[in-house]
Amino acid sequence: MPRLPGTRREADAILALVPKSRRLSMTDFAANRENLLTGDLPRYRLLHIASHGLVDNERPELSSLLVSRFDAKGQPREGVVGLPDIFNLQLSAELVVLSACKTGLGTFVRGEGLVGLTRGFMYAGASQIVVSLWSISDQSTARLMTHFYRALLRDKRPPAAALRQAQLDMRRESRYRHPFFWAPFQVHGQWSPANSD
């Protein structure tokens, strides 16, 4: 899997909008499986994951997110966060954003419905989730997410309205006017007016 340099710019732009006392940043080697599964994530109301998304259409239970596969000393480590891992998270997040390829896809399983990353995070406790429907561009997604978080955090818009505003902003930029760059993301779940403070 290729490195995603845009994810660092994406993280820096988002973190600039959040007071230091109210944020947790896990980038580079800290963006690892252990921190994601055993860290302080349950206490945060907003969770943003920028990584590779891997969808398995044949066996949807094998769908996963790919995080750092090396430690700071260059030693390999497990870098796959699978759907079973996600189902076992205990989140209290009002919003989870999966800034990765195809995170909104899944497979319809008779008697179960659509099985994929969206379902895993909703089951783990997320009220809403932003996911993508196709392979995304690292650079344009960093730009889209910057617009999205400005609308969400600075302008205090609900996630669906913030995403719409980000998409409109992207359409105005000649470089990113094509729907490929701004249309892959959608919002799932229920946003409560109580969450808009």
**Residue-wise pLDDT tens digits, 83-139:** 999 999 999 999 999 999 999 998 888 888 888 999 999 999 999 999 999 999 999
The residue among 113 and 165 whose pLDDT is bigger is: 165
CA nearest neighbour of 186 among 86, 85, 102: 102
Give the burial string for 97-130 (b: 16+ CB within 10 Å, else e).
bbbbbbbbbbbeeeeeeebbbbbbbbebebbbbb
154: phi then psi, degrees, rounded to nearest 5: -80, -45
The mean predicted confidence, pLDDT, of the chain is 91
Q: How confident is the model at residue 193 (pLDDT cuts 50, 70, 90)?
A: low
Kindly list the distances between the CA atom of residue 69 and the CA atoms of 6, 27, 75, 161, 178, in Å, as whole numbers in the listed order: 18, 12, 8, 35, 33
Q: How confident is the model at residue 41 (pLDDT cuts 50, 70, 90)?
A: confident
* pLDDT value of residue 192: 66
